[in-house]
Amino acid sequence: MNLVKLCRQSRAPGLPALLAGALALATTLAGGPAAAAPQDTLHELAAAQGRYFGSATDNPELSDAAYTARLGSEFGQLTPGNSMKWDTTEPARGRFDFAKGDVITDFARQHGQTVRGHTLVWHSQLPGWVGSLPPAQVETAMTDHITAEATHYRGAVTAWDVVNEPFNEDGTFRTSPFYTALGSDYIASALRAAHAADPDARLYLNDYNIEGLGAKSDAMYALVRDLLDEGVPLDGVGMQAHLAVQYGFPYEMRANMQRFADLGLDVAVTELDVRMQLPADAAKLATQSSYYRQVTEACLAVERCVGITVWDYTDKYSWVPSTFPGEGAANLYDDGLLPKPAYTAVRTALGDEDDGGENGGDPGALKVRYRSGDSSPGDNQIKPGLQLVNTGTTPVSLPDVTVRYWFTGDNGASTYGTWCDWSPLGCATVTHRVAALGSPAAGADHYLEVGFGSGSLAPGASTGEIQLRLSKTDWSDFDESDDYSHTTGTSYADAPKIGVYVGGEPVWGIEP
Ligand code: G3I
């Protein structure tokens, strides 16, 4: 069989969401380019794809002229990091103060930017008087607060994080004065009050660690489905995306976004940053770049993902170092306001055609070599040995790469255990899992997916041998002889029936 290097598929731009669509339309009407020009800003690149690209900001930073110059030019949307929170806007019951928030909306108006309101109801940065209220007064205090703030910002705020961070990590509801007084009904009540105050604003629930599939995003999914069933006004789900290179990329982010979109909701990436243990180094920055890029690609792949907001654009004003001592370097620009590799990675993902190869050149220049480490194809384990080789001329960021080895599970359990037995990269860097194929094919109803938590592969370099192993959880036998990716070769050879993907797109191998 001939070796086939699959072409990278072109990405069809999704239908623009309302706001972003208006931006794209404005570009077209102004005679602007359909494709992004090299000098375009992040927001212009995003707008050409029907999305916005925004940044959080905060009042103290607005006296930094170099900072505001970039804030006003590169980004099309702002989120106030603190100045619309309850402790600022209603520090005492009935005493409202919108001065700081107004500074942000004024800045945005002057720079043609939209504003995401953050946030009306949250357990944190809540003035003490709310927690001291008798439970019977909590709902009125909450709806009064929402009514006053959302009314004040009518026309200036296009979307609200109405309720922020309602869930614990295990998907149970987080305790707060609102939950204690009203149970989870406080969420519907808050959304209704926000809609009544500003019927034109897009209303969101927002949380962190809901970017990937998991217990917490399942809980958000169940909540929003119920709210929609009840006819509660809700337009979208905000995924904060406070990521860290040491914790890996969220599991199946694109699929997770899509399931919310399939309910008829918008999705927004609302607080993106990618922190790391300091000091930063080239490998960590490469991993960070790949995370920023993967988030951007996930958003572009989901039609209802309306845009991305970074949680401030520079390390200079990041919340991370004070909250996670020893960590930082989380943003697109460094402390000196110079763009980092992640900035270029985002530009490339947004379709910039002029990154000059700085961001890794042709990411498709990879191949995989394979040997069977298994002399007993009828026993209860499959033992592929793999080597990933960079055949190109530029480095490849390993966290972008996944490899698929296709096999049949035969009879017995359909759940699996997987292991990395040895790798010169260190098995801690190698991720592995078994996934079922949506449509089984000859010789393949499952695949072993191998990935990498960090690192990059230099031009011409190989990962060296990665010894993998899998079994069914009932330890029943396989018949590997008909498995799609299996060969009996015990020396390494190019493996056209094993797939290599970069950013989820096939770059090597023939799928079954
Ligand atoms: O304003 C006071 C100042 O007067 C005082 O001198 C100083 C001393 O610590 O504190 C200042 O308040 C700080 C405030 O930011 C304004 O700068 C608080 O201590 C500090 O805790 C607060 O941190 C904010 C954090 O939310 C609070 O949870 C961050 O700036 C803000 O970026 C962060 O944003 C949150 C989102 O709202 C929700 N998602 C997570 C995200 C990151 O934590």
Is there a domain that residue 356 lies in? no
- % the chain with pLDDT above 70: 90
Helices marked H in 157-238 — which ranges? Answer: 177-182, 185-197, 215-229
In a shared domain, residues 29 and 149: no
**Domains: count for the chain:** 3
Per the domain annotation, does 58 fall within a domain?
Answer: yes
Q: At what angle do helices 65-74 and 99-110 cross, to 10 degrees?
A: 60
d(CA 333, CA 309): 14
Does one domain contain both 164 and 243?
yes
Together in a domain, 424 and 314 = no
Give the mutation target among 78, 89, 319, 324 for probing the ligand 1 site: most ligand atoms within 8 A of CB.
319
Q: Which helix (H) or strand (E) holds 345?
A: helix 341-349
Token pair, residue 73, equals 């030019």
Point out the domain boundary residue: 284, 318, 347. Answer: 347
Asked which of 347, 379, 411 is the last residue of a domain, the reply is 347
> Is 2 inside any structural domain?
yes
Residue 164's CATH number: 3.20.20.80
Closest CA to 417 of 454, 464, 394, 383: 383
**Separation of 493 CA from ligand 1 center, angstroms?**
55
Q: Per-residue b/e over 394-427, b at no fewer than 16 CB within 10 Å?
A: bbbbbbbbbbbbbbbbeeeeeebebebebbebeb
| 439: helix, strand or coil | strand
Distance CA 417, CA 411 (A): 16
Name the packing angle between helices 253-261 and 282-301 (round to 10°): 20
Residue type at 310 in one-letter notation = V
Instruction: Check whether residue 194 and residue 87 sit in a common domain.
Output: yes
Residue 357 in any domain: the answer is no
Average pLDDT over residues 310-316: 98
Could you list the residue range(s) of the whole structural domain that residue 4 is in? 1-39
Collect all residues with Cβ–Cβ distance below 8 Å to 286 and sequence separation of at least 6: 341, 395, 397, 399, 454, 455, 456
Are residues 98 and 218 located together in one domain of the fold? yes
Q: How far is the CA of 381 from the centre of ligand 1 (A)?
A: 52
Bridge partners (DSSP) listed for residue 403: 450, 500
For residues 290 and 372, state if they share a domain.
no
Same domain? For 264 and 395 the reply is no
Shortest-distance Cα residue to atom 37 of ligand 1: 81
Domain contains 35:
yes
pLDDT band at 190 (very low <50, low <70, confident <90, very high): very high
- Cα-Cα-Cα-Cα dihedral of 402, 8, 27, 154, to 10°? -30
Residue 26 predicted with pLDDT over 90? no
Confidence bin at 24 (pLDDT 50/70/90): very low
In terms of pLDDT, which residue wins out, 28 or 176?
176
Residue 323 burial (10 A CB sphere; 0-12, 13-18, 19+): exposed
Question: 82 CA distance to ligand 1 centroid (A)?
Answer: 6
Higher-confidence residue: 192 or 400?
192
Most informative mutation of 61, 63, 78, 82 for ligand 1 (most atoms within 8 A of CB): 82
Same-domain pairing of 3 and 85: no
d(CA 254, CA 231): 26
Centre of ligand 1 to C-alpha 318, Å, is: 10
Largest distance between two CA atoms of the chain: 77
Q: Do 11 and 50 belong together in one domain?
A: no
Which residues' Cβ are closer than 6 Å to ligand 1? 81-82, 124-125, 164, 208, 240, 271, 319
Provide the residue type at 109 as one letter.
Answer: R
Q: Give me the chain's average pLDDT, please.
A: 90
pLDDT at residue 324 tops 60: yes
Residue 241 included in any domain: yes
Is 151 contained in some domain?
Answer: yes
The number of the ligand 1 atom at minimal distance from the alpha carbon of 56 is 32
Mean pLDDT of 314-341: 97
Structure tokens at 236: 């979208």
CATH number at residue 438: 2.60.40.710
Q: Quick: pLDDT tens for 349-404.
A: 999 976 444 444 454 588 899 999 888 899 999 999 999 998 776 788 899 899 99
Other beta carbons less than 10 A from residue 491's beta carbon: 8
User: Which residue, among 261, 260, 200, 208, has the nearest Cα to 233 in the 3D structure?
Assistant: 200
Question: Does residue 361 lie within any of the structural domains?
Answer: no
User: What is the reported pTM?
Assistant: 0.69
Active site residues: 165, 271
Same-domain pairing of 287 and 386: no
Same domain, yes or no: 209 and 150: yes
Residues 30 and 48 in one domain: no
- What is the Cα–Cα distance from 385 to 370, expressed in whole angstroms? 6
Q: What is the pLDDT of residue 354?
A: 63
